[in-house]
């Protein structure tokens, strides 16, 4: 999924999401269009978006960063099984 797909699933416009998260709608649009890489966003920004959109990091991260996050989670689960 992507930030845009997740936002639309929750029926937010960019402006509404901006009001809820206090993130400039222009910046949100840059993340959605790929002009700015969402993977480079601060963790606080990512968590704010996840909270507002009722989603997990996997829903908005992309590419290699998403793969690294998924590997990290699997490793953590393996450590907790044992």
What are the pLDDT digits (tens) for 27-75?
999 999 999 999 999 999 999 999 999 999 999 998 888 899 889 989 9
pLDDT at 8: 96
Length of the chain: 82
The secondary element (H helix, E strand) that includes residue 13 is none
Q: Which residues of 11-49 are buried (b: 16+ CB within 10 A; e: fewer)?
A: ebebeebbeebebeeebbeebbeeeeebbebeeebbebb
- Residue 80 binned pLDDT confidence (cut-offs 50, 70, 90): confident
In the predicted structure, residue 4 carries a pLDDT above the cut 80: yes
């Amino acid at each position: 999924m992507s930030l845009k797909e997740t936002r639309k699933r929750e029926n937010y416009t960019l402006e509404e999401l901006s009001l809820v998260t206090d993130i400039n709608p222009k910046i949100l649009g840059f993340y959605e269009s790929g002009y700015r890489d969402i993977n480079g966003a601060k963790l606080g920004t990512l968590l704010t978006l996840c909270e507002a959109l009722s989603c997990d990091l996997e829903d908005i991260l992309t590419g290699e960063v998403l793969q690294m996050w998924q590997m990290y989670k699997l490793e953590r689960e393996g450590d907790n099984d044992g």
